[in-house]
Amino acid sequence: MEEALRHLEAHREAYLDQLFAYLRIPSVSAQSDHDKDTRAAAAFLRDRMREIGLEADLYEGDGLPTVHGRYAAGDDRPTLLVYGHYDVQPPEPLDLWETPPFEPTVVDGEIRARGCADDKGPSLALLLAAECWIRATGSLPVNLKVAYEGEEESGGSVIERYLEEHREALHADALIVADTPGLAPGTPALCYALRGLVALEATVEGPSRDLHSGSYGGAVANPAAALARMITSLHAPDGRVAVDGFYEGIPPLDDAERARLARLPFDEAAFLSDTGARDLRGEEGYTTWERRTARPTCEINGIFGGYAGEGTKTIVPARAGCKITCRLVPGQDPAAVQEALARHLAAHCPPGVGLDIARGPVAPAAFMDPETPWAQKARAALERAFGAPPALTREGGSIPVVNAFRTILGLEALLLGTYAPGEKAHSPNERYPVEDFYAAIRTGIFLFAGERPSRR
Amino acid sequence: MEEALRHLEAHREAYLDQLFAYLRIPSVSAQSDHDKDTRAAAAFLRDRMREIGLEADLYEGDGLPTVHGRYAAGDDRPTLLVYGHYDVQPPEPLDLWETPPFEPTVVDGEIRARGCADDKGPSLALLLAAECWIRATGSLPVNLKVAYEGEEESGGSVIERYLEEHREALHADALIVADTPGLAPGTPALCYALRGLVALEATVEGPSRDLHSGSYGGAVANPAAALARMITSLHAPDGRVAVDGFYEGIPPLDDAERARLARLPFDEAAFLSDTGARDLRGEEGYTTWERRTARPTCEINGIFGGYAGEGTKTIVPARAGCKITCRLVPGQDPAAVQEALARHLAAHCPPGVGLDIARGPVAPAAFMDPETPWAQKARAALERAFGAPPALTREGGSIPVVNAFRTILGLEALLLGTYAPGEKAHSPNERYPVEDFYAAIRTGIFLFAGERPSRR
């Protein structure tokens, strides 16, 4: 392992150059006129994997390819599956970039380029960790399987088909994903929970056409008012979701968990200034971190109905609707929550109007026990690489591919947060500290070392 | 008077031809490429007035002209001011017309053409009544002042400027407006009340941008949910408007009034089939006619905020808003109601969001006592002309020009309903019974006869 680390030290410049070459490829998957570039990024990755010593190829599907690679260390060695993505967010709005998005530039020790943190830097770092082992010692101590997709930012499904078609071949002891942020500059993170999702759209049907409010107003039910009443019924005054059965199955947040979340830094002034929110509001009895990551929510994403243009239009609208998404936490059954929500809305639909419910996608929450042997090994690798123990964090959002790995391969992800947060992953001037790049390579070197961990 | 009536009988065909010529002019004021046509209709009217024996001219302003005419019968004679409009609604959608909109056709005793009922037929009829008098007897027994505008369907203000500039010259005993429907085929109406209006738009301000519902959901106030809560607070479960002071100043509906409205026919099945409403809903303790015309309302005309497109967007919207209009009844002070509504919304705005209120137009309700001497004379004229006593009706909407006549000239309108209702005034296949046209002329002949009425 020392040799691998020394190899890294001797190749700092060369590896940074490699990342820069990768970052210069504008692999914007959401923009089809960049398809050639995105495929160039896939080819770059495949070629790099082959140079490193992996068998590598492109898996083609209905969209952009998944680059897959494999290194066989022997049946007695542990097997790691590594996920990443080579596509990046669109760089727009371009005029807000201080340096060109596809011309990586180091400013104050930070690389600036689209995709540097999300996810080219961290995902390339894990391949370079393998290279350090192989170049320095002649071999990698683990069986390595790599699947880097090109549609993470555009919502494609090629990676899922790849997983489905290679169920057996992708058997592994652990799944490594380096696509979430660390806690703070210098402090990495292991994210151990993601929230799930339930989406639903409700449309309240009133008269068969918009009615003149002078001739008909006051004599028929107004669907916009009916909708408002239904939306109001969704929350109790204390901020709890008032839907029967909504909280079913959720274990109480235990003291250890609450203590863990309480240790995460929270700067209220910065939060309010960033969001523009007037103050902190949410379910009573919980902290903001808990509300954002460990408690389920029910949010109105949009409302619509009747006249929304300039001035006044004196109508009783024919219909009104809203889009609702709930964020779920481990223990909740997404299908059951969706049904409970639909039932609640139907029960609270005022008389005189009809109700149409359209069920949207659902995804379960994920809990990835941070105390498993592999999680502990990952935490130790992060700690050695960064010189600071990783924070244990929860994310409030969902990562669909994590669910795909669980349902298709039965693997829970180890979400390594190796880059400083707040580097505007989807915004102009995306940045990535150069030292985080090297620390991420070291994390890989430590993670690939040694034996299969076992429960202590 | 008998001579005037005989003159009409002798010129039935010629007068119908005149109306047809008038209807062939596509005077669509809302469509500026029809301005030439609309001005042609104004010239047609002016020329007709002159042929009849009125001094007539066009009053030009910032828009389409008001055609004004005058006949002097002598200072000892009563003076009537007649309002009408020569512009028509756009004929679109054209493919729904069974006969061409600007080629008047008689089908089953009904004229079909855009503008035949609204308002070319009834307003031309009153001019022809004057012609019958003058041709048959050599003179008209009343001083007549006529102001027919060309922007009723497009919301122009030339007529108002005309009224303001001719305050003195337009002094009259009574104001005749034949632009509202009768009660039923064969039954005319005198409309004695119009509802007023208060418009307001409320915008709830949340975060400074749409926030990701995964990262922020549950931790900040959702403006769409806050808006729903405010809208819900506007009505009590019994359908009453729950705004403090909203009903202030409204006299209770007395028994005579309620009896009058109870006599109006109401076909619930037809109403529901026409509107597509599931059932009748409104303020408890009132009939549908009362709710539609004699009680104030508060309606949501539109709601908006966040994502309304296809599929799901997981955001907490930055803002959400709604448009509200209230219909007012006599006794309510529009400005006070607008303030009460704004105050109510501010008081019911949940914590954590901001509120922006934009005040829209206001207009008072109108009550035109159907028992004044002139109203009784108008009722008698309608009864003689149609062979049936007019129904006394209230309208749920507003007619802005009626307020202009009241505020500028101090004149309350006599709203003569001389055409059968349900002839789709603003819809394709607008129709007007031929016999209603002659009855409207007779109404004018009776109305112009005799002395200034006095309270009996």
If chain B, 456 residues long, is cut into consecutive pieces of 10 residues, what is the mean pLDDT of each piece?
96 98 96 95 98 98 97 96 95 90 96 95 98 97 97 90 96 95 90 95 95 91 98 97 98 93 92 94 96 96 93 91 96 97 98 97 92 97 97 90 94 94 73 95 96 77
Tell me whether residues B224 and A302 touch, CB distance under 8 A.
yes
In order, the DSSP letters of A379-413 are: HHHHHHHHTSPPEEEEESS--HHHHHIIIII---E
Is there a contact between A302 and B303 if contact means CB atoms under 8 Å apart? no
Nearest Cβ partner of B300 from A225, A231, A299?
Answer: A225
**Neighboring chain B residues of A281 at a CB cutoff of 8 Å:** 219-221, 351-352
pLDDT-above-90 percentage for chain A? 86
pLDDT of residue A424 exceeding 90, the answer is no
- Rounded to a whole number of angstroms, the distance from the CA of B430 to the nearest CA of chain A is 18
Q: Tell me: the pLDDT tens digits for A136-193?
A: 999 999 999 999 999 998 888 999 999 999 999 999 999 999 999 998 888 999 999 9
The DSSP line for A118-183 is: IIIHHHHHHHHHHHHHHHHHSS-SSEEEEEEES-TTTT--HHHHHHHHTTTTT--SEEEEEEEE-S
Residue A97 confidence (pLDDT) = 92
Domain A2-193+365-448 fold is: Aminopeptidase (3.40.630)
Partner-chain contact A299 B222, CB within 8 Å: yes
B315 contact A CB<8A: yes
Contacts of B208 in chain A (CB under 8 A): 275-276
Q: Which pLDDT score, from 0 to 100, does residue B312 have?
A: 83
3-class DSSP assignment, residue B104 = coil
Interface check for A327 against chain B (CB to CB < 8 A): the answer is: yes
Q: Does B385 touch chain A (CB under 8 A)?
A: no
Query: What Rg value do the Cα atoms of chain B yield, rounded?
Result: 25
Cβ–Cβ contact A252 with B under 8 A: no
Contacts of B197 in chain A (CB under 8 A): 314
B302 touches chain A (CB under 8 A): yes
Q: pLDDT category, A214, cuts 50, 70, 90?
A: confident
Among chain B residues, CA nearest to A220: B281
What ipTM was estimated for this complex? 0.87
The tokens describing A234, both together, are 């969704």
Q: Is B415 on the interface with A (CB under 8 A)?
A: no
B325 shares contact with chain A (CB less than 8 Å): yes
Q: Do A304 and B299 touch (CB under 8 A)?
A: no
User: Chain A residues with CB inside 8 Å of B230's CB?
Assistant: 228
Hey, is the C-beta of A237 within 8 angstroms of any chain B C-beta? Answer: no
* Domain range summary for chain B, segments of one domain joined by +: 2-193+365-448, 196-250+296-363
For residue A216, the tally of other CB atoms under 10 A from its CB is 26
- Report chain B residues whose CB lies below 8 A from the CB of A396: 214-218
Count CB-CB contacts under 10 A for residue B158: 18
**For domain B196-250+296-363, which CATH number applies: 3.20.20.80, 3.30.70.20, 2.60.120.10, 3.30.70.360?**
3.30.70.360
Q: Mind listing the pLDDT tens digit for each residue in A372-401?
A: 999 999 999 999 999 999 999 999 988 889
Contact B214 A397 (CB under 8 A): yes
Judged by CB atoms closer than 8 Å, whether chains meet at B224 and A325 is answered as: no
At B3, list the tokens.
């001579």
Chain A nearest-CA distance from B30, in A, is 16
Q: What 3-state DSSP class applies to A205?
A: strand
What are the chain A neighbours of B352 within 8 Å (beta carbons)?
A: 277-279, 281
> By the CB < 8 Å criterion, does A316 face chain B?
yes
By the 8 A CB rule, do B126 and B142 touch?
no
Give yes or no for a contact between A355 and A349, defined as CB atoms under 8 angstroms apart.
yes
How close is the nearest chain A Cα to the Cα of B270, in Å?
A: 13
Judge whether A245 is closer than 8 Å to chain B, CB to CB.
Answer: no
Q: How far is A56 from chain B (nearest CA, A)?
A: 35
Cβ contacts below 8 Å, chain A against chain B, sum to 274
SS3 content of chain A, % helix, strand, coil (to 5): 35, 25, 40
CATH of domain A197-250+296-363: 3.30.70.360
Cα-Cα-Cα-Cα dihedral sign, residues B18, B24, B25, B27 = positive
B395 touches chain A (CB under 8 A): yes
**What distance in Å separates residue B360's CA from the closest CA in chain A?**
7
CA closest to B271 among chain A residues:
A216
In the predicted model, is pLDDT for residue A100 greater than 90? yes
Alpha-carbon gap, residue B425 to B398, rounded angstroms:
16
Set of chain A residues whose Cβ sits within 8 Å of the Cβ of B396: 214-218
Helices B121-137 and B434-448 pack at an angle, to 10 degrees, of 50
The C-alpha of B357 sits at a distance from chain A's nearest C-alpha, in angstroms, of 13
User: Which of B34, B8, B11 minimizes the C-alpha distance to B86?
Assistant: B34
Closest Cβ–Cβ partner in A209, A288, A351 for B276: A209
What gap in Å lies between CA B298 and CA A228, rounded to an integer?
A: 14
Q: How far is A236 from chain B (nearest CA, A)?
A: 11
Which residue's entry shows tokens 């909203």?
B246
Interface membership of A313 toward B (CB under 8 Å):
yes
The structure tokens listed for B436 are 């209603």
pLDDT tens for A324-356 read: 999 999 999 999 999 999 999 999 999 999 999
Report yes or no: B114 and B88 within 8 Å, Cβ to Cβ.
Answer: yes
Residues 6+ apart with CB under 8 A from A152: A29, A85, A87, A119, A159, A179, A401
User: In this predicted model, which residue has the larger pLDDT, A95 or A220?
Assistant: A220
pLDDT at A455: 64
Residue B197's alpha-carbon distances to A23, B64, B153, B244, in angstroms, are 61, 26, 18, 18
User: Most B CBs within 10 Å: which of A301, A348, A359, as the mutation test of the B interface?
Assistant: A301
Does residue A361 sit at the B interface (CB-CB below 8 Å)? Answer: yes
pLDDT digits (tens, 9 = 90+) for A293-321: 999 999 999 999 999 988 888 899 999 99
Tokens representing B295?
Answer: 């009680």
Average pLDDT over residues A204-210: 94
